[in-house]
Amino acid sequence: MQLKSKLINLVAGLGLAALTTLAAAQSAKPNVVILATGGTIAGAGASALNSATYAAAKVPVDKLLAGLPELANVANVKGEQVSQIASESFTNDNLMKLGKRVSALVKQADVDGIVVTHGTDTLEETAYFLNLVIRTSKPIVVVGSMRPGTALSADGALNLYDAVSVAASKDAAGKGVLVTMNDEIQSGRDVTKKTNIKTEAFKSQWGPLGMVVEGNNYWFRAPVKRHTLQSEFNIDEFEALAPVEIVYGYGNVSRTALDAVGKSGIKALIHGGTGNGSVADRIVPALQDVRAKGIQVIRSSRVPDGFVLRNAEQPDDKYDWVVAHDLNPQKARILAAVALTKPMDSKELQRIFWQY
């Protein structure tokens, strides 16, 4: 009887020691929260051969995490479903809801990093938005996939694993909002979707910040534009984005769209021009009319790479217009929508486009 009691005590002691060791191991790991919004990474096709034909935003975050148990080796991971939509349907309200949740989480001492799963169509816009308005040095990583998880050679699982490994790493702190896809670590400011059918869809003309290989980060450059903790914008200080629209330039363009959006109550209009933000001669008066209504006019370019030079194609000083620098039209819209939550003139807005 005495021997049996000793054995019970020994087993209980070993169990307690094992639990203590497990608890210590868990507490040593970073804590990462995954905020899911839908998209292809949560999509499902009818068969394994459906890599481009599928329904987005079908798989909830708990099932995404259950299908990737390797994440437990990297961090203590929790998931939240913020929304469940295809990203082409993302609205300003969706951005604000997501941004407010990210801002609240990064203030918690028990959160070391954030991952946002997102559809690829507007992923770059959301990443840039968070880069502008979240005041933190903690890693924030936005991630998506080009193929649903049901497809052959699906890319979502590895992309998500890489995103968590980056969000969990101390060396990712202070580098702004990041995008991890196709083994690359990209700046959320610079990266854009450049092809719609390949897994290597996201590129920056300035190159990636680094690579992720087998869960390890290798860094080669850092962003120099203002972001996150150095930003003058704070999502906790406003409740809605300013209304901003985009109108594209093209051969035989008319002023019909410009006249329509100029009457819609917007605060800024992005002109996605040809070449160096060029504006057709018959469109110049239309943009002048828009500016005369107090609407900011911002010249961007539909050309994927390069940047718009001030007073080059158009006399921006004379017309009181702003240039978008290297931001494409969709990212220029995000910056203008954030900046114009505060009152400012065109000179102040131009400073912001140079700095961010």
* Residues labelled as active-site residues: 40, 120
CATH code of the region 30-230: 3.40.50.1170
Give the model's confidence band at 6: pLDDT under 50 very low, under 70 low, under 90 confident, else very high. low
pLDDT of residue 1: 54
Please determine whether the domains at 30-230 and 243-355 fall in the same fold group of CATH.
yes
Give the model's confidence band at 18: pLDDT under 50 very low, under 70 low, under 90 confident, else very high. low
Give the model's confidence band at 57: pLDDT under 50 very low, under 70 low, under 90 confident, else very high. confident
- If DSSP codes are grouped into helix, strand and coil, which group holds residue 353? helix
Query: CA torsion, points 36, 37, 42, 44, in degrees to nearest 10?
Result: 150
Residue ranges per domain, the chain?
30-230, 243-355
Give the model's confidence band at 52: pLDDT under 50 very low, under 70 low, under 90 confident, else very high. confident
Give every CB contact of residue 327 below 8 A, 6+ residues apart in sequence. Answer: 300, 335, 353
Residue 11 has pLDDT above 50, yes or no: no
Exposure of 248 by Cβ count < 10 A (0-12 exposed, 13-18 middle, 19+ buried)?
middle
Phi and psi torsions of 12, nearest 5°: -60, -40
* Crossing angle of the two packed helices 329-339 and 346-355, in degrees rounded to 10: 120
Mean pLDDT value of segment 163-169: 98
- Average pLDDT score, the chain: 94
pLDDT of residue 96: 98
- Name the CATH architecture for the domain at 243-355: 3-Layer(aba) Sandwich (3.40)
The per-residue pLDDT for range 264-281, each reduced to its tens digit, is: 999 999 999 999 999 999
The per-residue pLDDT for range 197-209, each reduced to its tens digit, is: 999 999 999 999 9
Mean pLDDT value of segment 113-139: 98
Give the model's confidence band at 13: pLDDT under 50 very low, under 70 low, under 90 confident, else very high. low
Give every CB contact of residue 277 below 8 A, 6+ residues apart in sequence. Answer: 271, 299, 300, 301, 308, 309, 312, 313, 314, 323, 324
Q: Is 146 left (phi over 0), alpha (psi -120 to 50) or beta?
A: alpha
Mean pLDDT value of segment 80-103: 98
